[in-house]
Amino acid sequence: MIEINIDGAARGNPGPAAIGIIAKKSGKTLFEVSEYIGETTNNVAEYSALIRGLEEILIKGSHEAHFVSDSQLIVEQINGNYRVKDENLKVLYHQAKALIAKMKKFSIKHVKREFNKEADGLANKALDAL
């Protein structure tokens, strides 16, 4: 199973934002994303990382992945435990769910920030390059 660690970061919230994604299978890195996404909020950046990770894995022809995020809000919303109240996030939530529907196997779990350092580092690398 492919494991995809995702992170979104915004400096200022809203402010300059970026995403970091790292996908691995059996410990081997399949791809990384470190990308500035413009001015937005941290939650939008987190959803953007999830959506981009889903798009990348589907483009590469895989339909099974386990996602890992340090955003409890995003994980709980995707897993159906929290309602999505923010109108901007609802659009991203529905976009993510449409991509998830194309997956054969999908799971997402929350981890503490210290267990998501690689994705966090990739998001911050994009912001530091500004």
Mean pLDDT computed over 25-53: 97
Structure token pair of residue 94:
């529905």
pLDDT of residue 17: 98
pLDDT of residue 3: 98
- Answer whether 96's CB lies under 8 Å from 72's CB: no
Residue 10 has pLDDT above 90, yes or no: yes
Give φ, ψ of 108 to 5 degrees.
Answer: -145, 135
Complete domains list, the chain, with CATH: 2-128 (3.30.420.10)
pLDDT of residue 68: 98
pLDDT of residue 13: 86
Mean pLDDT computed over 63-88: 97
Residue 55 CB contacts under 8 Å (≥ 6 apart), including other chains: 99
Mean pLDDT computed over 48-72: 97
- Answer whether 47's CB lies under 8 Å from 93's CB: yes
pLDDT-based confidence at 1, cuts 50/70/90?
A: very high
